[in-house]
Copies of this chain bind each other. A is one copy, B any other.
Amino acid sequence: MNKYIVEFIGTFFLVLTVICTVNSDFGGAFQPIAIGSILMVMIFAGGHISGGHFNPAVTLGVWMRGKCAASDVPGYVIAQFVGGALAAVIGGNVLGKVPAAAATNMSIMPAMVAEILGTFALVWVILNVATTKSNSGNSFYGLAIGFTVTACAYALGGFGSGGCFNPAVALGTLMNGLNTGANIGPIIAANLIGGALAALAFKALYHSQGADD
């Protein structure tokens, strides 16, 4: 149960930061730094209890890699979506953050490519820095994971989807009018595809290596 609470808290603050840095007084240009930072700190804080996924696509990848029990997956994903949804309500309805303009339907192809690539990078980094023996005990895992999102948001955030790389973030953006209903399905599908591809690539590499598992 503690694991689910930690996943709830971390995803809540991640999505809250996404929602509240739109139309920020500081300008949206810093949004990827704020989002990468909150993900980093929540992973450093919660990683020792839940692993610090805060993202259903990450839970999928970590489960495929064999480092998350199947029995934990539903609780993780529910906690992540509930945390994201509550953040959207707090950010939108309580704090009153609303987007400057109505979201428009994205062009499916570039947006899905961008979401697949970004989620692949995220899960690729996570599986390497946080689930391998050769990297055990390092002090950089949160920095590496958080700033993967920073870099990918700058590089891949401008193709219509906003750069979610995370179904719980996608849900939060939908609830606050930052994404349309038509966008959400393809984004979530792309996130899961990207996460699964990263897990497959990781496993192929490590099984062929026969070590560091």
- Give chain A's interface residues, CB within 8 Å of chain B: 1-2, 5-6, 9, 13, 16-17, 20-21, 24-38, 40-42, 44-46, 48-49, 90, 94-96, 109-110, 113-114, 117, 121, 124-125, 128-129, 132, 134-135, 138-145, 147-148, 150-152, 154-159, 201, 205, 208-209, 212
Contacts of A142 on B, CB cut-off 8 Å? 140, 144
List 14 contacting pairs A-B, 8 Å CB cutoff, sorted by A: A2-B208, A17-B151, A21-B155, A29-B29, A41-B121, A41-B147, A44-B138, A44-B141, A46-B128, A90-B113, A94-B113, A95-B114, A95-B159, A140-B142
In the complex, the count of this chain's copies comes to 4
Q: Check A20/B140 contact, CB under 8 A, given A37-B147, A48-B212, A151-B37.
A: no
Bound state CA distance, A36 and B178, in angstroms? Answer: 28
Bound state CA distance, A6 and B79, in angstroms? Answer: 33
Contacts of A46 on B, CB cut-off 8 Å? 128
Q: Which B-chain residue is minimally distant from A154 (CB atoms)?
A: B34
Interface centre among A27, A109, A151, A157 (most CB of B within 10 A): A151
Q: Can you list the 5 inter-chain pairs with the closest CB atoms, starting with the nearest?
A: A34-B154, A139-B139, A38-B151, A45-B128, A44-B144
Contacts of A40 on B, CB cut-off 8 Å? 143-144, 147
Q: Check A21/B154 contact, CB under 8 A, given A49-B205, A110-B96, A148-B38.
A: yes
Bound state CA distance, A40 and B28, in angstroms? Answer: 23
Interface centre among A32, A49, A94, A144 (most CB of B within 10 A): A144
Bound state CA distance, A31 and B95, in angstroms? Answer: 22
Q: Which B-chain residue is minimally distant from A121 (CB atoms)?
A: B13
Q: Check A95/B110 contact, CB under 8 A, given A41-B151, A144-B142, A147-B41.
A: yes
Contacts of A157 on B, CB cut-off 8 Å? 25-26
Contact A154 B16 (CB under 8 A): no
